[in-house]
Amino acid sequence: MEKTIKNVEDLYAMLDSQFRASEQFWDPFYSDRERPVPFFHNKPDENLQSYLSRGLIQPGRAMELGCGPGRNAIFLHRNGFKVDAFDISQVAIDWAKERASELTYNIHFQCQSVFELKPNEEYDLVYDSGCLHGILPHRRIQYLKMIYSGLKPGGYFGLTCFAPGFGDVGGPEFNLSDWDVYEVNSMKGGLAFTEEKIRYLLSDYFECIELRMMNEMDKDSDLFGVPFLWTSLWRKK
């Protein structure tokens, strides 16, 4: 039978098919570990460290989405969390596993798309550093629902994503709207979110605990911090 749209999954598949598959971008991206990519360094986000040091979050079960080579998952494990971390890139997951095994850390890293996950009130913390802003707008619906379902009552969601107006750093060059994405058939390196848009997307599910720009960290710091990302912490309603 010809391709037919009968349900939402069919609609998602049709819209996905207009774009390159994520792993086709990310596998080559991670293949050269020497590239000067700020998040290739094994340092956690400064905001994540700050949530812990201020007691805003406590050790428990954590899920990291789009974990890349594992820098935040490793930090969470080191700070007493039991961590499940997922990424669509096998190359990134291999690197993350290598890093963790060198440190003899037992972290569950798995190559899997976030759209295949079906957690059920299992996690105290879900963390996303740079995954949501690379997800196609229509997939966001399912993504946020999955995070909500995966969190225990009162659990926390930490999110960092591109802020608008920083095209020169190579991220969200054109400040595309969700509609634009489907007109130009690209996210041009990732979508930038205004504060209003972040609050609009998340506030049905979560109460905002903190939303601020990431603090820029010195090259010699043990923490990762760049000035073009929002950081935020949310609590499940």
Ligand X SMILES: C[S@@+](CC[C@H](N)C(=O)[O-])C[C@H]1O[C@@H](n2cnc3c(N)ncnc32)[C@H](O)[C@@H]1O
Give the nearest distance from C-beta 153 to ligand X in angstroms.
25
CA angle 22, 28, 88 (to 5 degrees): 35
> Of the two residues 89 and 148, which places its CB atom closer to ligand X in the complex?
89
Name the pairing type of β-strands 108-111 and 82-87.
parallel
Report DSSP letters for 113-131, one per residue.
-GGG----S-EEEEEEESS
The answer to whether 113 touches 88, Cβ cutoff 8 Å, is yes
Cα distance between residue 139 and residue 133, in whole Å? 11
Q: Is 225 in the site for ligand X (CB under 6 A)?
A: no
> Of the two residues 112 and 203, which places its CB atom closer to ligand X in the complex?
112
Residue among 44, 46, 52, 68 that touches ligand X (CB under 6 A): 68
Residue among 115, 166, 174, 205 that touches ligand X (CB under 6 A): 115
Nearest to 65 by CA among 99, 22, 31: 22
Among 2-10, 50-58, 88-96, 178-186, the segment contacting ligand X (CB under 6 A): 88-96
Residue among 81, 86, 95, 230 that touches ligand X (CB under 6 A): 86
Among 55-63, 110-118, 178-186, 201-209, the segment contacting ligand X (CB under 6 A): 110-118
Torsion on CA atoms 195, 198, 202, 207, rounded to nearest 10: -30
> Of the two residues 6 and 35, which places its CB atom closer to ligand X in the complex?
35
Q: Is 88 in the site for ligand X (CB under 6 A)?
A: yes
Q: Is 67 in the site for ligand X (CB under 6 A)?
A: yes
Cα distance between residue 87 and residue 197, in whole Å? 25
Mapped onto helix, strand or coil, the DSSP state of residue 219 is coil
Residues 25-54 close enough to bind ligand X by CB under 6 A = 26, 39
**Residues interacting with ligand X, by CB under 6 A?**
22, 26, 39, 66-68, 71, 86-89, 92, 113-115, 129-131, 134
